[in-house]
Structure 1
């Protein structure tokens, strides 16, 4: 019989091939299915709100190649996609951007923020959970920031460093250099100089993005310094009431559909369970 010619190694080889095919094909199927669901939900939100809906979501998802989570943050590819989405939107059509991100690179973040600021139609940033660092910079560009009651944004003080020494807030590098004075090593002095220039850039960008939203010059300067100066540590969660106190155009009337949309992002960690 034919089966008598099949040895144990042949069986193991067949199982190995089937496993690899499953590990490759099944996650791809899941990703495609979830993407279709997300796009369908985006279309429903656009029809209901009469806006162009864009998303900037960074999560470690269970649905990925071989089931391995991928760490995500704002990068140049995000900027290219978001800028294309804004550019393809009719000039007067309102834009909503749903943001869920820990932040990311400064260059693409500023590009996205400026493009949103320059859009002729009304713009909103919708934050269901958190929009930290670079995500906050983008939020400042919108005409309105809509946060969930429990959502947070964060300070936008630049983070500067290298692979050897690590990354630290720019104000801390400046403080370290001034504290050491003549005893500061060359690297600390150089990073301190870069930090001062980056702080100047960030103040300029924040002022530019908030222009027209905070009319009083003193209040505008207060808001910029509160977010940029390093008064708060970089991980400080700023709630909606705190953001309003700072002077930002924040409301908490987040549409329920945003939370429904976020359900299509399956988190890697599933230690919390409950019935709905």
Structure 2
């Protein structure tokens, strides 16, 4: 029994951790190579469930205050260098996303965000802060309308809470009225931040008109559902400055993140 326990311990704890250490070393080597070729410092913020983790249990990840703390520390450390941030995230906490975005926007050197697959919600807020957004032609970003709710009722788009309160009027429940009030404030904040991040980055319209407010409304107003995938071409169409000259080496780097599910198989 003791031998079986030792074998089980080695297989479930030591082996996954040794694999993870090896893969982390490969990732660092790839990042260093990219830094040399691109002439800048490179950071990744990649949120995905990986097959290799402690006891083999995948962890759900999103943008949070710990991410913000680490990214801000990186930006401060390399304030004299141009920066590239590889983003792969479904989003996360609004305040953490805004904090990262503002620090990236205020960086004194050039900043680029590279999106190989997707950067939704809070990830889009971070992307808007960069001097340049570089997307694979099939990558997507998404709307940034704030999501409001609680553990009991779940999260819903802020514009939808306002719509419900306006439709129900005096018949609306107290919680709907409260959520509507919070939603108005959240929308005001998000509009303000989006304008702050996009100031000077939106090309004028055909007649020379300022399109900043139109772009912000498109992203914030709830016109699209929160999970709407906006391709690089669609992002350009609504007015964002997007470059699709995407470096292939970033895709090679992403192969070092092993997903939990492997339903798709092909010969390399």
Shorter chain as denominator, the TM-score bin is over 0.9
User: TM-score normalized by structure 2?
Assistant: 0.96
Note the C-alpha offset of 1:14.
Answer: 2.7
Structure 1 length normalisation: TM-score?
A: 0.94
Equivalent residue for 1:178? Answer: 166
Work out the CA distance in 1 between the residues paired with 2:90 and 2:12: 29
Whether the 8 Å CA contact 1:46–1:52 is kept in 2: the answer is yes
Query: What is the distance in 2 between the residues matched to 1:104 and 1:159?
Result: 10
Q: Does 1:198 align with 2:190?
A: no
User: Deviations along 1:209-262, whole A, 9 cap, x unmatched?
Assistant: 001212647300010000000000000000111101111110100101100110
Matches within 5 A, 1:89-128: 89-91=78-80, 93-128=81-116
Secondary structure of the residue aligned to 1:261 is helix
Point out the more displaced range, 252-261 or 17-26.
Answer: 17-26
Alignment partner of 1:220 out of 190, 199, 212: 212
Classify the secondary structure of the residue corresponding to 1:121.
coil
Which aligned pairs between 1:13-32 and structure 2 lie closer than 5 A? 13-32=2-21
Partner of residue 138 from structure 1, selected from 116, 122, 126:
126
**1:45-99, Cα deviation, whole Å (9 max, x unpaired):** 00000011010000110010111111100011110111111111133x2110000
Who is 2:34 aligned against? 45
CA RMSD of aligned residues (A): 1.0
Asked if 2 retains the 8 angstrom alpha-carbon contact of 1:101 and 1:131, the reply is yes
Structure-2 separation of matches of 1:21 and 1:260: 30
CA deviations over 1:158-180 (Å, ceiling 9, x no partner): 01101111110000000001110
User: Which 4+ runs in 1 deviate beyond 6 A?
Assistant: none
Q: Who is 2:264 aligned against?
A: 272
Give SS of 2:161's match: helix
1:218 partner SS:
coil
Structure 1: runs of 5+ lacking an equivalent: 1-11
Secondary structure (helix, strand or coil) at the match of 2:211 reads helix
Aligned-partner SS, 1:97: strand
Aligned match of 1:9? none
Gaps of at least 5 residues in structure 2 are none
Deviations 1:131-177 (A, max 9, x none): 00000000000011000010000000001101111110000000001
For 1:250, the equivalent position in structure 2 comes to: 242
